[in-house]
Structures are given as C-alpha cells and as structure tokens.
C-alpha cells in the first residue's frame, strides 16, 4: 500500500520542519511542479465553465466572521484572533465571506447572473496536532473554491453544472470516488436554525443528485453550518474516507451579508450562493494522487516529464540542447549525465519519469532521440521535434496514455 507521507519524502515532493510547525508542510520543487500543474488545470476548466478568478486576503476582521456565522458556529476550528491595535484579525476558515463582500462591493443586475467567482485561496484550520500527518490533514489549506451568485431559479442548474464539472475533473485526474453523500444537519447547536431554509436547500440538492443519476446516500451530521452539501468522498489505501469535492446551496450567507441584485422588475432581490469545490484542497488531492499512482504520475502531472540520458560525456552538449528545447516547449525536462553513474543505473533511477530519451553518438549526429516509455517500452529513434510534439499533445490533453495508440513501435 502506498503511503503518501513516505512517498512524498522519498520522491522529494514535500516535507515538514518542526520549526515551521506540524500540519504546515512545505513543497519542494517537484511537489510544487505538480501543484502548479493542478492549479493551472483547474483554472482552465473553470474558465471554460464561465468562472472568473479573483484573489482575496487570507485574513479578515473578526467581525466579518461574526456576520458570516463562522464565529458562532465554527469557532473551535479557527485559529485564535490576533490583536492588531484596537482590532482583532483572524486567519480565515473559509473564502465565502470574502467572496460575499466582493459581490456586495458592486451593484448587480439580474442580467449578470449567474456570477461565478473562483479562487485558489489559502485558508486555515486549527486541527489538533494528533490528527496531522503529511498532506491529508493540514492547518494551512490551499482550496479550489468558488461561489456562484445566482437567482433562486438558477440555483439547481448551477449546482448540477458544478457536479458535472467535478465528475469531469475526476475523470481527467483518474480519481474514482467511493461514494456521493448528501450531507444533512444533525442535532446540537452547530447549525443555523431556520427549518424552511434547510428543507428548501435539501430538496434542491436531492433533485440535482437524482437528475445526475449517481447513487448517493443521505448522512446526518455532516452538513455545513449554513446548509446541506453534496460531498464526493474518496478513500485512502487503508479505506479511510475523506471529502474531496463538494457542492453546497446557501440561503443563509446572502441574507447575513444583505446581498442583492436588481431584478427585471427594478426591485431588489436576494441571490442564492452555490459554494463548490471541484478538486478540493490541493493538499488532500496531491496526497490522494501520490497514493493512487505510487509516484508514477501521468505525463501531464509528472514533476519531470522527460529525462535526457547522454550515453557518454560526448553527448552532454546535445542533451543540454534537447533539454532547453523541451523547456522552451513547456515540457519539464532534466539531464541525467554520466556523472550520475552507468546508463543502466541512470535508467533505473529515472524509472518514474514517463519518458527517457537516450542520446548516443548516432542520435546526437542526426537530431533523433531513442525514447523509452515508463515501464520499459522502447520506441524506434525518431526526430526529436516529432517526439516533443507528440508528448506535448498528450500532456495538453491530460492524457492517461504515454504514447498515442498505433504510433511508433
């Protein structure tokens, strides 16, 4: 069984330092390359789905979370406030309040709705140190988040579109959810008290799940404090479940923040907020992908996509030129020269890279490369430009394949 904490260290993806603190991992260059790729992947998918991206600060005044309801319902999971002059500022436990303020900062007509605001933003959770480990439970979280501000009539379609975006992203990533959960409130004072609000939002999400055709189960006690959620659950190698993606319908925060838009009748109307996360937190997703692939990532996610292997010192300059050409084309490439050992040893140590390109005297002379695909399959030498173009196309398509079917031997 793959443990992402062990692999993450062995593959130099991330680590922690007691001086930074537990639950506060840092990302090494190879891990950062994966993270950057995932962030660009989701931004691209969101742009195509009509989202616009913003940045907002990871801190806010305590008052902001009093308005949103986090202070009353979620304070135990938040870091304690910091005194700053006469103010108290808080590390944010979610992005929703900031996005509500961004919506509120400009007047909106019904013609602009649905307005989809997305952000890959940092948020913080005061997890107890006992549950921390690796990337799956952290105190500093990079969340793929978005809020759709829409009319009540648009909310079901927006939630359904978000669920579809989640399913498409999972397919591209190779993520297979273990179940879809309709998360409902439980007992206790954790939830805002407005029976009609819960019934309306629950009926809406139930309809979305039923229309999508995915099997789901309703679970009490797992809702957000402001509304029910669709949670898409993944499991690690030990069968421990966690939520990766989520869709929520919220009638509460628009009310708390006094959000409105001008309707066709010229009067003020209250929008609905659909909260959704397609790939969840980058930390949890990367932990899952490390375990899923055991470090042998699809080419588009691999930290190093092409390893150039000059047979001897004589081919080093050609290998360096080929590497630069790969970098210019946007491919992540490294040279593993003879100073790293015999060709056999270098091939073994680069075994997780999707592509190895051996550069011998003959290839150096005629501008060809002899590609070895991860797993050992060897292709006939082909012009370097053709190799990079084929790899580039597979990477751009987020393909799970290392080589087009039927191309080359």
Interface residues with Zn ion (CB under 5 A)?
A: 96, 275
CB-neighbour burial class of residue 199 (10 A; exposed 0-12, middle 13-18, buried 19+): exposed
| Nearer to Zn ion (CB atom), residue 103 or residue 261 | 103
Smallest separation, CB 76 to Zn ion (Å):
19
| Nearer to Zn ion (CB atom), residue 116 or residue 275 | 275
| Nearer to Zn ion (CB atom), residue 96 or residue 301 | 96
Smallest separation, CB 277 to Zn ion (Å):
8
Kind plus residue range of the DSSP H or E element containing 357: strand 355-359
Smallest separation, CB 219 to Zn ion (Å):
20
The two tokens of residue 59 are: 């801190």
Smallest separation, CB 81 to Zn ion (Å):
21
Instruction: Give whole-number Cα distances, 133 to 36, 269, 289, 293, 315, in Å.
Output: 22, 45, 16, 19, 44
Smallest separation, CB 259 to Zn ion (Å):
13
Which positions ≥6 away from 200 have C-beta within 8 Å?
251
97, 60 contact by CB (below 8 A)? yes
| Nearer to Zn ion (CB atom), residue 96 or residue 113 | 96
- Report CA Rg, the chain: 24
| Nearer to Zn ion (CB atom), residue 181 or residue 275 | 275
In 3D, which of 288, 321, 310 has the Cα closest to residue 137? 288
The two tokens of residue 348 are: 């073994």
| Nearer to Zn ion (CB atom), residue 11 or residue 148 | 148
> DSSP string spanning 106-137?
S--BGGG-SEEEEEEEEEE----GGG-BTTTB
Smallest separation, CB 274 to Zn ion (Å):
9
């Amino acid at each position: 069984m793959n443990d992402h904490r062990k692999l993450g260290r062995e593959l130099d993806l991330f680590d922690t330092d007691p001086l930074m603190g537990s639950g506060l991992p840092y990302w090494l260059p190879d891990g950062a390359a994966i993270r950057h790729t995932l962030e660009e992947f989701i931004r691209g998918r969101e742009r195509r789905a009509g989202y616009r991206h913003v940045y907002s600060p990871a801190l806010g005044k305590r008052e902001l979370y009093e308005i949103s309801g986090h202070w009353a319902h979620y304070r135990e999971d938040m870091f304690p406030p910091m005194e700053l002059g006469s103010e108290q500022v808080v590390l944010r436990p979610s992005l929703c309040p900031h996005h509500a303020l961004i919506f509120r900062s400009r007047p909106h007509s019904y013609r602009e709705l649905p307005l989809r605001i997305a952000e890959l933003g940092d948020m913080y959770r005061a997890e107890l140190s006992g549950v921390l480990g690796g990337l799956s439970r952290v105190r500093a979280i990079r969340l793929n988040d978005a809020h759709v501000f829409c009319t009540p009539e648009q909310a079901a379609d927006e939630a359904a579109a978000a669920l579809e975006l989640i399913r498409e992203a999972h397919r591209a990533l190779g993520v297979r959810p273990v179940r879809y959960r309709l998360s409902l409130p439980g007992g206790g004072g954790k939830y805002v008290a407005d029976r009609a609000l819960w019934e309306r939002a629950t009926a809406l999400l139930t309809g979305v799940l039923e229309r999508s055709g995915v099997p789901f189960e309703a679970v009490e006690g797992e809702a957000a404090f402001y509304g029910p959620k669709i949670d898409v659950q993944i499991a690690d190698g030990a069968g421990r479940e966690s939520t990766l993606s989520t869709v929520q319908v919220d009638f509460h925060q628009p009310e708390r923040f006094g959000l409105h838009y001008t309707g066709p009748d010229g009067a003020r109307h209250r929008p609905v907020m659909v909260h959704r996360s397609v790939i969840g937190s980058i930390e949890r997703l990367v932990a899952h992908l490390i375990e899923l692939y055991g470090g042998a990532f699809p080419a588009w996610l691999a930290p190093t996509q092409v390893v150039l292997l000059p047979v001897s010192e004589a081919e080093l300059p050609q290998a360096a030129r080929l590497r630069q050409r790969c970098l210019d084309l946007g491919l992540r490439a490294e040279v593993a020269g003879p100073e790293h050992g015999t060709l056999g040893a270098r091939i073994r140590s680069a075994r997780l890279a999707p592509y190895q390109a051996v550069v011998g005297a003959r290839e150096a002379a005629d501008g060809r490369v002899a590609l070895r695909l991860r797993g050992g399959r060897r292709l006939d030498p082909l012009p370097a430009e053709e190799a990079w173009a084929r790899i580039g196309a597979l990477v751009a398509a987020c393909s799970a394949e290392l080589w087009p079917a039927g191309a080359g031997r």
